[in-house]
Amino acid sequence: MKHDAAQLLAAAQLATDRAALFLREQEGRQTPDRWSEKGRADFVTDVDREAERLIAETLAEAAPGGRIVGEELSPGTLPAGLVWVVDPLDGTTNFLHRFPFYAVSIAATLDGEILAGVIEHVPPRVRYHATRGGGAFQDGAPLGVSTITDPRHALIGTGFPFKYAELLPRYQRQFAAVLSRAAGIRRPGSAALDLCDVAAGRYDGFWELALQPWDVAAGTLIVREAGGLVTGLDGEGAVLRHGPIVAGNPVIHPWLLSILQTDPGA
């Protein structure tokens, strides 16, 4: 079956809208006694599960035949064929504390290739989207990565490996190395939105050591279609797997990658 990227994008946008509306209705209603802890500081609630159910239902109606890989209902490796890679609530801890930096992220992949992606920054109702070869957009306006080339002027985004205590020493060395060479580092707590900030030129680069495909699939396409680079820490472009990710504009990305690969203090 042939899959048109524009049709897949439309289905993803419909599902994103439905989930985002539900999340806005639920914000502030989840008291700590209703949180489940998958791991240390890694929370999940019925809201996450219901948002993913709504997404799955909408995608099944709008684009039959695809499979869904998502954080809550169906985690696992990406199979062949049409696969929807879904994070129904990226930034769960932010959501639970009403910190307005969380998102819905949906990507359509075909045999491992990302064809379309949508991310909605839920509280302000800002939508990012991209199709392969069709560019990247924020609420319909074209996106482009930053033109900063001097690392001393670069603002770098990051994410903490809070689920993996064994990675903290390595991350702390990397953090010190980057901070001593860049203009600053920021960590709001949603990798999907961090990648959107790279695509929009607000960040010049971004890295995180432990992410899953649903964290990065849509954002990777959006960055690449905005003119940026996204790789693993090995410099390879295959990022739909568990592991590190490095993103940035065409100058800052290789600079950031070289620092991270050096792993100072190891």
Q: Residues 131, 181: one domain?
A: no
Q: Read off the amino acid at residue 100.
A: P
231's CB contacts (< 8 A; 6+ apart) are 237, 239, 245, 246, 247, 253, 257
Instruction: Read off the CATH number of the domain in which 239 is found.
Output: 3.40.190.80
Average pLDDT, the chain: 90
Q: How far apart are CA 53 and CA 37, in angstroms?
A: 20
Q: What SS3 state is found at 225?
A: helix
Percent of the chain whose pLDDT exceeds 70: 89
Q: Cα–Cα distances in Å, from 182 out to 37, 94, 191? A: 35, 26, 20
Domain of 10? 5-142
Q: Residues 124, 170: one domain?
A: no
Quick: pLDDT tens for 209-255.
Answer: 999 999 999 999 999 999 999 999 999 999 999 999 999 999 999 99
Among 120, 142, 164, the domain-final residue is: 142
What was the pLDDT predicted at 39? 46
Compute the CA torsion angle 226, 228, 231, 233 (nearest 10 deg): -140
Q: What is the total count of domains within the chain? A: 2
Q: Read off the amino acid at residue 17.
A: D
Q: Residues 98, 216: one domain?
A: no
Q: Residues 39, 20: one domain?
A: yes
- Using alpha carbons only, give the angle 209, 210, 216 rounded to the nearest 5 degrees: 100
Quick: pLDDT tens for 131-179.
Answer: 999 999 999 999 999 999 999 999 999 999 988 889 999 999 999 999 9
Average pLDDT over residues 187-210: 98
Q: Residues 98, 202: one domain?
A: no
Q: Cα–Cα distances in Å, from 187 out to 94, 161, 227, 242? A: 12, 11, 23, 20
